[in-house]
Each structure stands twice: as C-alpha cells, then as structure tokens.
C-alpha cells in the first residue's frame, strides 16, 4: 500500500475518533468505548471490505453488517455518514440519543437506513447475523445458476465480551458451525472490559477455543492500531474458508486514545475537558470545530459511493440476464425481493366444516402451513427440536443444511432463543422470506427478548406456539403455559392468535401472513378440540373478535360468553344448554385481542355490548387483562395458579374447564 494511502487511512480513522468524542460530548450520553477501540475495524469494513452501495442501502446483494454490540452504534452512524448514506447527516450525529433523531442510543433498522437489524440486548445481533447468512445461503442455493449468480454476499457481525457471554450467541454459533455458514464473519472486539470492570471479574474462558469446538475457524488479530493490514489480512484469510464460519478476534483497547483507554470507565459517558483536549491534540485536531470532517476524508469515502453504485449496476446487469434466461425463477425472485405475496395465496388454505373429523388446532395448523408452503415460496422455518410435536414441518420442502441449503425446514435444535433471533435475521434480510419458528407456548419464555425485537424491528416472524394451555396434560406445570398469552399480548406490534378450530386456524394464518411488518403468535392446542364450530369463520378472524352464535334478536342477549382457542367449544356447549332453557345467549370468539382492539368503536360495541353487563370469559390462561372485555360486573374463568401433571381431561376438570362448570358459572352470573 502506498505511503499516501496509509496517511489517508490514518486521517480517516482519526476523524472517526474525533467525531466519536464530539458526538458523545454533545449528547452528554452514549457509549464511546467500542467506537474508539474499533475505529480502525469500522473504517476497513465500510471503506475497504464490504460491498455496499451508500446510495441504495436496500440494494439486495449488499454485504450485511450487524453490530451485535449495539451500544457501540456511534461507530456505525459515523461510518454510514462518511460513506455517504443519506440517512445519517452530520446534523444527525449532533443529535445522538435525542428524541426523534435518526441516531438513537442503540441502532434501529426501522429508524435509520443502513442498519440491518435492531440490536442492543446483547447476543441478539450474533443470532440475527446467523439468520442473514442462512437467508443468503438458502437463496443462493435456490436461485443461482452456474452461469448466473444473483445471490452472493457476506454477513459481517461485530460482538463484544457481553455478546460472547450471552447464551443466545453460543446457541447461534453452534448452529452456524453445524450449518457450515462460511460466509459469516464474526468480529470479536476483545477489549477485556465490560461495564463492571475487567473481564477477569467473571469471564476467563478461551473464546476462540470454544468457537473451534463449535466448528468455527478462528483468526487472531493483533496490532490493528499500528497496521490496518493485520485486520485486512484476517479478512482475506476468512474469505478463503469454504467450510466454516469465521471468528476474527481483534485484540483491542476500549476507549482508545482517551485517558480512560483500557478501562471499563470508557464504556459509556462523556470525557472531561482535559481528556478531550488531549485526544484532539493527539489527532492534530486542536483548532478544529466540533464535528469537523476533513475534506480528505470525505474525498476518500466518495470512492465508496462510486464503487458501490458500480457494484449494484453490475448486479443489475446480471439480474437482467438472469430474468431473460430463467424467466420463471427470475419472476419468482423479483416478486420475492419486492415482498409481493402471490395473488390468491389465501385460496390454498383449507376450509373445514362441522362434519370434518376433529383435530388439535396444531393439527389444523399443520394442514395450513403445508398448504401455504406450496403457494408462498418465501415460507421457511422450523422448530426447536419439536417439529413433530409442533406439527411444523413442511413435508415436501426438505431440510436446510450444508448439503441441501435449498431445503426450507430449518432444524434449530434445542435453541429457542437463537431460533427466534435467527428468524428476525431471516425476515430482515429483506428478501421476502416469511420465517416461522415453532416451539411449545411455555418456551416463548426462552424467546421473549427476541420476540420483542421482532415486534420492535417490524420483522414479520410467525411464531407457532403449540401445547398452549394446561390442556398439555402429563408433562406438568413446567410445560403448561399460564401467563404466557398475556405476556405476549402485552408486546406492542405483536399479534397473538388463539384459534378455536380449523377455520379459525386458517384465519389466523391469513391475518398473520398478511402482516409482513408485524410478528404474530399462533397459540395452538396439543389436545383435540371438540368440534369444528358452526359459527366459526376464517375471514372474521381478521376482526379479532366476532359473534359465533346468538339466539337473541342480536341486541339483547342476556349473557355474552367469550372464549378463545380450545375453550370456545366449552362456551358453545354451555350456550346450547342455556338456550335449551330459553336463555338468550351470545357466544363470542376473541381470537385476537389486538385485531379486535383495532376495530372501530361501533363494531366492538356490536360484538360486546356495554349494556349487556353479564359477560363471561373462558380461557385456560391467566385471567389478567380480561376485565377489559367482561366489564366490572363480568366474570373471568381463567387459571391463576400453575398447572399440574395429569391427563388433559383430569387437569381441565380440576381447573374448572368443563361444559358443566362453564354452564354453572353462567347460571350464577344470570341469577
């Protein structure tokens, strides 16, 4: 490399550091430790290594970068700005951590173009990156032709000691090793510090050896501050690897250049004046205004814009050739990446009549999922080792693995948390993939933070959560969900469906698949429901709640019984018996609270009249939240304690979920 270029590189890195200091001082908040320590790495990635087009952050074939150590986002914001992304102007750097800014305290894909996934909760980004790398490998296998490569990018991820300690990253890395994701490059900012102090407080494992045990290639980088080439060589070595994902450990200094360098004090917070002066002096920056960017630096990065645009142009040419040569695959590819669902995709879903044999709703789900597999080419996913129990296997779609990356069933192993965060990566790859992730409802607890991030980052993941109540039976209270439904319903932008029968299950799929910017949970029973209910409806699921049956004139039922899922049958059964005694009874299915709450006032009141004070809910889960629907004088039948091991019918009886008990409660309410 020329002497001149080395000087330019040095200046660029210095400028990154100065912007870090300026932004932190201006914000009086934020995390300078990683940005200062990894400025060289950020620079090499954005200016030299990654194939990306700043003028089109959504260019399909770009290399992906995920900052799993999300608190270090200032580094990424600065690199995005210097590279020419319009999403981060110099003024945005001035607004770090300010309300309404495009530079929030942790990186958010929904706020800032150029950010791939929303990170901050540690370890999530590593799993997101595994998802992105799976998406690439899968699509490459499905679409690339020997003479035409349209899917071909790397996935870079940066993690710190925190990410390395979190269990989710080990789960994700273990799977990545198993799947031989050789285009995944994980950069470990090994700075030996966490918030509480030196890592020796709590962390003395041999991280590279662990990754080797997981099937990774590992490379150590020392001396990056003196020579960018050390890191560039590591990348070049990584590119040669054809079998394994790669961990590059960069020995770094947190807060490099500051007085706090090498200590946990550099992790977050501002610098004192003397420290700022010292850093500016060291960079030869003492007479410059805050947020100064050297023209030399902008000029260097301008090349990125040209190179990025050239890469995209080149790719567009190849894509055009592809579409010409392979019109059917080309058409599918273009529809996929444009997030166009096939017309009439809903029509593939099965319909059910009262004469059909009854099944568990997980059984209906299996039919729906497999029907959709044929019409939705982007549908793929898997289970955390419960494919059979969850009935979440695409029968004709093969397993995704290193030997058959075109397969659409991902065997996640017993790694729920990683499964959910990998699913976020699959969804946020932006290629029209519709990931599903299946496990028992109770184990949504293991996935909770990643599910929350699905909602926050608008990743339309489909969570198939079977064994959805104490009706699970013998496995007992550790496996019987009680409080999970309300916990999931409380997540903003999450839709929770609890269908009662075949048609409602189909309806839940319709509503969930349609919402590509929101994750959904479909809660499904282990046990058979008792009927395909005459008044149930796939279409009406879209309204969240609707009248299933009513023998009043429609305005004056004496009582409204509201049920969800496997308990809706109990409501219908009790209602029938009440009607035999000439009672006017309405049964309502409240299959999705969130959708019902979105309906207008008139509709909601037409289903749950205020003036009918005798309202009762029946759901084998926590009673919390139901007061909203039954009103002050209503009654809630729920489960307020943990469940118990026993046969499903014994357990349901003990907890009061029998037609008789629903009837008796209704009669008490009516009396």
Task: Kindly list the catalytic residues.
Answer: 416
* Part of the chain binding its own copies (CB under 8 A), chosen from 18-26, 145-153, 220-228, 645-653: 645-653
Residue 104 touching its own copies (CB under 8 A) = yes
Residue 623 Cα distances to 8, 224, 312, 529, 536, angstroms: 64, 57, 54, 21, 23
CB of 451: closest distance to its own copies in angstroms?
A: 8
CB of 132: closest distance to its own copies in angstroms?
A: 18
- d(CA 302, CA 300) in angstroms, rounded, equals 5
Asked whether residue 408 is marked as a ligand-binding residue, the answer is: no
| H helices present in 326-393, as ranges | 327-337, 361-375, 387-390
Residue 300 touching its own copies (CB under 8 A) = no
Residue 476 touching its own copies (CB under 8 A) = yes
Residue 413 touching its own copies (CB under 8 A) = yes
- Taking residues 364 to 393 in sequence order and writing x for each that binds its own copies by CB under 8 A, - otherwise, the string is -------------------x-xxxxx----
Residue 397 touching its own copies (CB under 8 A) = no
By beta-carbon proximity to its own copies, the closer residue of 487 and 656 is 487
- d(CA 190, CA 170) in angstroms, rounded, equals 16
CB of 10: closest distance to its own copies in angstroms?
A: 32
* Part of the chain binding its own copies (CB under 8 A), chosen from 184-192, 490-498, 540-548, 601-609: 490-498
CB of 438: closest distance to its own copies in angstroms?
A: 11
Using the rule CB under 8 A, which residue among 47, 52, 62, 106 binds its own copies?
106
Number of residues interacting with its own copies: please give it, by CB under 8 A.
110
| H helices present in 353-396, as ranges | 361-375, 387-390
**What does the buried/exposed string (b/e) look like for 142-164 if buried means 16 or more CB atoms within 10 Å of the residue's CB?**
bbeeeebebbebbbbbbbbbbbb
Using CB under 8 A as the binding rule, the residues of this chain from 135 to 174 that contact its own copies are 161-163, 165-171, 174
- d(CA 666, CA 573) in angstroms, rounded, equals 12
Residue 658 touching its own copies (CB under 8 A) = no
CB of 508: closest distance to its own copies in angstroms?
A: 21
Residue 252 Cα distances to 125, 193, 210, 225, angstroms: 20, 10, 20, 8
- Structure-token pair, residue 435: 């990931």
Using CB under 8 A as the binding rule, the residues of this chain from 31 to 50 that contact its own copies are none
Asked whether residue 198 is marked as a ligand-binding residue, the answer is: no
* Part of the chain binding its own copies (CB under 8 A), chosen from 138-146, 364-372, 540-548, 628-636: 628-636
Residue 74 touching its own copies (CB under 8 A) = no
- d(CA 263, CA 228) in angstroms, rounded, equals 23
Asked whether residue 120 is marked as a ligand-binding residue, the answer is: yes
Q: Other CB atoms closer than 10 Å to residue 319's CB: what's the count?
A: 18
Residue 285 Cα distances to 226, 291, 626, angstroms: 20, 11, 62
Check the CA dihedral 177-183-184-188 and report its sign.
positive
- d(CA 456, CA 121) in angstroms, rounded, equals 12
By beta-carbon proximity to its own copies, the closer residue of 1 and 213 is 213
Residue 601 touching its own copies (CB under 8 A) = no
Asked whether residue 106 is marked as a ligand-binding residue, the answer is: no
CB of 118: closest distance to its own copies in angstroms?
A: 6
CB of 569: closest distance to its own copies in angstroms?
A: 21
Instruction: Say if residues 77 and 92 touch (Cβ distance below 8 Å).
Output: yes
Asked whether residue 339 is marked as a ligand-binding residue, the answer is: no
Angular region, 570: left φ>0, alpha ψ -120 to 50, beta rest: alpha
Using the rule CB under 8 A, which residue among 100, 295, 357, 403 binds its own copies?
100
Instruction: Say if residues 111 and 95 touch (Cβ distance below 8 Å).
Output: no
Asked whether residue 389 is marked as a ligand-binding residue, the answer is: yes
Q: Other CB atoms closer than 10 Å to residue 252's CB: what's the count?
A: 28
**Cβ burial, residue 100 (10 Å; 0-12/13-18/19+):** exposed
Residue 129 touching its own copies (CB under 8 A) = no
- d(CA 322, CA 530) in angstroms, rounded, equals 52
- d(CA 438, CA 451) in angstroms, rounded, equals 12
Using the rule CB under 8 A, which residue among 84, 177, 255, 460 binds its own copies?
177
Residue given tokens 């000087």 in the structure block: 7
Residue 627 touching its own copies (CB under 8 A) = yes
Using CB under 8 A as the binding rule, the residues of this chain from 199 to 218 that contact its own copies are 201-207, 209-210, 212-215
The residues that bridge with 495 in the sheet, in sequence order, are: 520
Using the rule CB under 8 A, which residue among 1, 195, 296, 320 binds its own copies?
195
Residue 663 touching its own copies (CB under 8 A) = no
Asked whether residue 443 is marked as a ligand-binding residue, the answer is: yes
By beta-carbon proximity to its own copies, the closer residue of 17 and 31 is 31
Q: How many C-alpha atoms does 473 have within 13 Å on its Cβ side?
A: 10
Which residues are within 8 A (CB) of 656 and not within 5 positions of it... i.e. 6 or more apart? Answer: 637, 665
Using the rule CB under 8 A, which residue among 412, 463, 509, 546 binds its own copies?
412
Residue 439 touching its own copies (CB under 8 A) = no
Residue 527 touching its own copies (CB under 8 A) = no
Query: If you ran DSSP here, which 8-state letter would residue 584 be given?
Result: -
Using CB under 8 A as the binding rule, the residues of this chain from 223 to 282 that contact its own copies are none
Using the rule CB under 8 A, which residue among 61, 112, 194, 665 binds its own copies?
194
Asked whether residue 609 is marked as a ligand-binding residue, the answer is: no
- d(CA 341, CA 516) in angstroms, rounded, equals 10
Using the rule CB under 8 A, which residue among 233, 414, 554, 668 binds its own copies?
414
Using CB under 8 A as the binding rule, the residues of this chain from 319 to 338 that contact its own copies are none
Question: Residues forming the annotated binding site for thiamine diphosphate?
Answer: 71, 120-122, 162, 191, 267, 443
Question: Residues forming the annotated binding site?
Answer: 31, 71, 120-122, 161-162, 191, 267, 362, 389, 443, 467, 475, 479, 526
Question: Residues forming the annotated binding site for Mg(2+)?
Answer: 161, 191
């Amino acid at each position: 490399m020329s002497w001149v270029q080395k000087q330019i590189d040095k200046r660029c890195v210095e400028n990154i550091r100065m912007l870090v200091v300026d932004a932190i001082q201006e914000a009086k908040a934020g995390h300078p430790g990683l940005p200062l320590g990894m400025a060289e790495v950020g620079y090499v990635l954005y200016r030299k290594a990654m194939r990306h087009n700043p003028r089109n952050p959504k260019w399909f074939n770009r290399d992906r970068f995920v900052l799993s150590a999300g608190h270090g986002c200032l580094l990424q914001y600065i690199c995005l700005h210097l590279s020419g992304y319009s999403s981060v102007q110099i003024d945005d750097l001035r607004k770090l951590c300010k309300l309404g800014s495009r530079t929030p305290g942790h990186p958010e894909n929904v706020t800032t173009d150029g950010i791939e996934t929303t990170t901050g909760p540690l370890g999530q980004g590593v799993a997101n990156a595994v998802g992105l790398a799976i998406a690439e490998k899968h699509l490459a296998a499905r679409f690339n032709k020997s003479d035409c490569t349209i899917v071909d990018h790397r996935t870079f991820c940066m993690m710190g000691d925190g990410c390395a300690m979190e269990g989710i990253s080990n789960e994700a890395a273990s799977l990545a090793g198993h799947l031989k994701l050789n285009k995944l490059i994980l950069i470990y900012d090994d700075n030996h510090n966490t918030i509480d102090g030196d890592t020796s407080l709590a962390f003395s494992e041999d991280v590279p050896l662990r990754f080797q045990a997981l099937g990774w290639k590992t490379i150590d980088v020392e001396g990056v501050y003196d020579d960018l080439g050390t890191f560039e060589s590591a990348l070049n070595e990584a590119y040669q690897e054809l079998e394994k994902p790669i961990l590059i450990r960069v020995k770094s200094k947190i807060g490099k250049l500051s007085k706090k360098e090498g200590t946990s004090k550099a992790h977050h917070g501002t610098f004192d004046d003397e420290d700022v002066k010292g850093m500016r002096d060291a960079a030869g920056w003492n007479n410059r205004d805050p947020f100064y960017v050297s023209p030399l630096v902008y000029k260097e990065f301008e090349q990125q814009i040209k190179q990025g645009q050239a890469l995209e142009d080149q790719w567009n040419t190849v894509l055009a050739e592809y579409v010409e040569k392979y019109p059917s695959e080309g058409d599918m590819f273009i529809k996929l990446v444009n997030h166009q669902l096939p017309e009439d995709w809903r029509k593939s879903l099965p319909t059910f009549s009262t004469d059909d044999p009854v099944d568990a709703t997980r059984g209906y789900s299996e039919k729906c999922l497999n029907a959709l597999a044929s019409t939705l080419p982007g549908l793929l996913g898997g289970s955390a080792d419960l494919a059979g129990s969850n009935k979440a296997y695409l029968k004709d779609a093969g397993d995704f693995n290193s030997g058959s990356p075109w397969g659409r069933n991902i065997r996640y192993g017993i790694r729920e948390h990683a499964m959910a965060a990998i699913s976020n990566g699959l969804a946020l790859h932006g290629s029209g993939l519709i990931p599903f992730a299946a496990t028992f409802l109770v184990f949504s607890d293991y996935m909770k933070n990643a599910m929350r991030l699905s909602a926050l980052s608008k990743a339309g993941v489909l969570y198939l959560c079977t064994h959805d109540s104490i009706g699970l039976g013998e496995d007992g209270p550790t496996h019987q969900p009680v409080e999970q439904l309300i916990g999931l319903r409380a997540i903003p932008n999450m839709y929770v469906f609890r269908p009662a029968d075949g048609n409602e299950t189909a309806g839940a799929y319709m509503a969930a698949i349609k919402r590509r910017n929101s994750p959904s949970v479909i809660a499904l029973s282990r046990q058979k429901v008792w009927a395909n209910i005459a008044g149930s409806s796939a279409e009406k699921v879209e309204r969240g709640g609707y009248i299933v049956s009513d023998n009043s004139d429609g305005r004056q039922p004496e009582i409204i019984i509201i049920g969800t899922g496997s308990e809706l049958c109990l409501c219908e059964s009790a209602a029938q018996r009440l009607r035999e005694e000439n009672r006017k009874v309405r049964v309502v299915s409240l299959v999705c609270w969130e959708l019902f709450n979105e309906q207008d006032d008139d509709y909601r009141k037409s289903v749950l009249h205020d003036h009918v004070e005798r309202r009762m809910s029946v759901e084998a889960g926590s009673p919390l939240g139901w007061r909203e629907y039954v009103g002050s004088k209503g009654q809630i039948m729920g489960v307020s304690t943990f469940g118990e091991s026993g046969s499903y019918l014994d357990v349901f009886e003990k907890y009061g979920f029998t037609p008789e008990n629903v009837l008796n409660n209704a009669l008490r309410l009516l009396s």
